[in-house]
A and B are shown apart, each in its own frame.
Chain A
Amino acid sequence: MRETYGRLLPEMRLGDLAGKLIVIEGTDGAGRSTQIDLLRPWLEELGHAVVDTGMTRSPLAGEGIRRAKEGNNLGRVTQALFYATDFVDRLENEIVPALRAGFIVLTDRYIYSLMARAIVRGMDPRWIRSIYSVALKPDAVFYLRLGIDQLLPRVVFSRGFDYWESGMDLYPGHDMFDSFCSYQAALLTEFDRLSAEFNFQMVDAAADARTVCVHLQHNILQLLERDSRKNFMSRLYNDSTTAPQPALQEKAPDRAKQPADATLFAVANPASTPPSNGNGHHHAAHHGQ
């Protein structure tokens, strides 16, 4: 049965949440939304109903947070709690009902980003963990990791520096560049710490988007095959796929244990491919490409 991180909200029933909760985490510019845009149609083609959600999208608090951030006078505790309000609104009214209806929920960031941001801003880690103890444990957390050296060109040559992404509220004396580097480095350190604690599956986000996507698809299929509705689903996959096995495959487990800056999924060695369970998921992995 599904679990929370320790505390249960009133009227939150966990018994019948049949769907899957898949988290895409990572720092700013790691390509999270690109991946979700690729994964959603792929999953729908396979016959899964998908809901995607992300920070500040709640009907209750999204607009309020955007307004508050415009003024640059949003305090650190206030900021942490405003985001918690937004998260819990989406948890109760979007994520849980979707899981109950059997949807796959793809979420762009989850409590981990919120905890990292708050901790980097000096909040007591025990305090922020206590607040998010009401969150559901997801089925998988994919952490798209990007070092600062790789992140910088993406930011500089696309959207430029943003006040909040540069942590200017934390380092008011710095210029945007220095502030950005200090802030993102602090976030990365915190993410790496959370990664071990919450069992993230590490993904090298420096690779091109297609490669990252193939990796994610492979792991998501493994997750879906463990589903209790497996027999039904494997029929579905066999029906919908005819393509040969994809060239890119690698072992999914043990990702989180590798050093953070290692090449996390090099060219696949077919010999090291985990045995297929014969219900055609590799075909499916190739299907959306």
Chain B
Amino acid sequence: MEIGSGVRIGPFEVFAPLQPAVSMVRHYGEHHFPGRLIVVEGIDGSGKSTQLSLLHKWLESKGYGVVFSEWNSSPLVKDTTKHGKKKKLLTPATFSLIHSTDFADRTERSILPLLKAGAVVLCDRYVYTAFARDVARGMDRDWVRELYGFAVKPAIAFYFRVPLETAIHRLLDGRDGFKFYEAGMDLNLADDSVESFRMFQGRILSEYEKMIPEFGLTVVDATLPIEVQQAQVRQIVKAHLDKANELRVQA
């Protein structure tokens, strides 16, 4: 698929072919690093982090070298993001850019080298979070996709699908309201943080739905019991890793 200024998305294992400095990203597509990238996506309260943590334990018990990377956690960038959120300096555009900067640092510093080293890399939220949130904030859909053109394409991207009201009940169970940006309060959708959250996350959900076919997300019904979801997740991951091992033996 060709979009915008002609950055290719789709047939490559990565979203776009960057040149020399990140050419190893292309090599990942062409030569297959020994590692595997597995990511979870979904709105807040979908239970994705719980599922990823259970998957993490299981993979370790099977003897895989597993590394976990969380959205918005770069040691180089996260203080700037925190500063921007605290002082409410962020617009939709700078919100988008500072998160892509954080993601770039984690990609360059850990995700890519770890995949080369053969680790199973687990990411709690990935580029799809940015695609959903930034577009919900009014950013151009193609611009955001091109912005993340350097990202490695995951082997499996789970999407934990949950109705909005279920997520809100889960989240409000332990606290009074939502944080400013989490609820999309910067968009002035509503005065009340719960109402704003509902409207903002509603937009995000509809972006996720569009991305299921666009990026081939693996949908998990996040209203099912935790154990049932985890059994599905493990089965899918196992099938993928078995296949990868077979390929490695043949090579």
A154 located at the interface, meaning its Cβ lies under 8 Å from any Cβ of chain B in the complex:
no
A134 located at the interface, meaning its Cβ lies under 8 Å from any Cβ of chain B in the complex:
yes
A9: which B residues are within 8 A, CB to CB? 91-93, 139
A162 located at the interface, meaning its Cβ lies under 8 Å from any Cβ of chain B in the complex:
no
Top 7 A-B residue pairs of the complex, sorted by shortest distance between their CB atoms: A122-B21, A75-B108, A64-B80, A10-B138, A122-B20, A85-B97, A81-B101
A171 located at the interface, meaning its Cβ lies under 8 Å from any Cβ of chain B in the complex:
no
| Interface members, chain B 68-122 (any A CB < 8 Å) | 74, 76-77, 79-80, 83-84, 87, 89-94, 97-98, 100-101, 104-105, 107-109
Q: A7-B140, A68-B77, A73-B76 are in contact. List 18 more A-B contacts (CB 8 A).
A: A10-B92, A59-B89, A60-B84, A63-B83, A67-B79, A75-B105, A77-B104, A78-B104, A81-B97, A81-B101, A82-B101, A84-B101, A88-B91, A123-B19, A127-B146, A130-B143, A130-B146, A131-B146
Central interface residue in B87, B89, B92, B93, by most chain A CB within 10 Å: B93
Query: What separation, in Å, do the CA atoms of A8 and B138 have in the docked complex?
Result: 11
B22: which A residues are within 8 A, CB to CB? 76-77, 122-123
A124 located at the interface, meaning its Cβ lies under 8 Å from any Cβ of chain B in the complex:
yes
- The answer on a CB contact under 8 Å between A124 and B17 is yes
| Interface members, chain A 175-206 (any B CB < 8 Å) | none
A67: which B residues are within 8 A, CB to CB? 76, 79
B225 located at the interface, meaning its Cβ lies under 8 Å from any Cβ of chain A in the complex:
no
Shortest Cβ distance from A85 into B: residue: B97
B213: which A residues are within 8 A, CB to CB? none
- The answer on a CB contact under 8 Å between B94 and A76 is no
- The answer on a CB contact under 8 Å between B94 and A85 is yes
Central interface residue in A77, A89, A124, by most chain B CB within 10 Å: A77
- The answer on a CB contact under 8 Å between A77 and B107 is yes
B154 located at the interface, meaning its Cβ lies under 8 Å from any Cβ of chain A in the complex:
no
Within 8 Å by CB of A123, from B21, B74, B91, B101, lies B21
Query: What separation, in Å, do the CA atoms of A127 and B5 have in the docked complex?
Result: 8
- The answer on a CB contact under 8 Å between A64 and B77 is yes
Query: What separation, in Å, do the CA atoms of A248 and B104 have in the docked complex?
Result: 50
Within 8 Å by CB of A81, from B90, B104, B146, lies B104
B38 located at the interface, meaning its Cβ lies under 8 Å from any Cβ of chain A in the complex:
no
- The answer on a CB contact under 8 Å between A126 and B6 is yes
- Contact of A60 with B149 at beta-carbon distance under 8 Å, contacts A77-B108, A89-B89 already known: no
Within 8 Å by CB of B83, from A64, A77, A78, A130, lies A64
A80: which B residues are within 8 A, CB to CB? 104
Interface size on A, residues (CB 8 A): 40
- Least CB distance from B201 to A in Å reads 19
The A contact surface, by secondary structure, is helix
A133: which B residues are within 8 A, CB to CB? 5, 143
Residues of A whose CB lies within 8 Å of any CB of B are 6-11, 59-61, 63-64, 67-68, 71, 73-78, 80-82, 84-85, 88-89, 92-93, 121-124, 126-127, 129-131, 133-134
| Interface members, chain B 117-154 (any A CB < 8 Å) | 137-140, 143, 146-147, 149-150
What are 19 sample pairs from A and B whose C-beta atoms fall under 8 A apart? A6-B5, A10-B93, A60-B94, A64-B79, A75-B109, A76-B21, A77-B108, A78-B74, A78-B77, A92-B94, A122-B23, A123-B19, A124-B17, A124-B18, A127-B18, A130-B147, A131-B146, A133-B143, A134-B143
- Contact of A127 with B108 at beta-carbon distance under 8 Å, contacts A64-B79, A77-B22, A85-B101 already known: no
Task: Give per-residue flags for B1-16: 1 if the beta carbon is below 8 A from chain A beta carbons, else 0.
Answer: 0001111000000001
B17: which A residues are within 8 A, CB to CB? 124
- Least CB distance from B23 to A in Å reads 8
Residues of B whose CB lies within 8 Å of any CB of A are 4-7, 16-23, 74, 76-77, 79-80, 83-84, 87, 89-94, 97-98, 100-101, 104-105, 107-109, 137-140, 143, 146-147, 149-150
Within 8 Å by CB of B89, from A7, A60, A129, lies A60
- Least CB distance from A279 to B in Å reads 40
Query: What separation, in Å, do the CA atoms of A218 and B243 have in the docked complex?
Result: 70
A6: which B residues are within 8 A, CB to CB? 5
Within 8 Å by CB of A88, from B74, B94, B105, B150, lies B94
B97: which A residues are within 8 A, CB to CB? 81, 84-85, 88
A88: which B residues are within 8 A, CB to CB? 91, 93-94, 97
Query: What separation, in Å, do the CA atoms of A131 and B4 have in the docked complex?
Result: 11
B107: which A residues are within 8 A, CB to CB? 77
Shortest Cβ distance from B84 into A: residue: A60
B147: which A residues are within 8 A, CB to CB? 81, 130-131
Query: What separation, in Å, do the CA atoms of A118 and B153 have in the docked complex?
Result: 22
Shortest Cβ distance from B147 into A: residue: A131
- Least CB distance from A196 to B in Å reads 19
Query: What separation, in Å, do the CA atoms of A93 and B89 have in the docked complex?
Result: 9
- Least CB distance from A4 to B in Å reads 11
- The answer on a CB contact under 8 Å between A68 and B94 is no
A134: which B residues are within 8 A, CB to CB? 93, 143
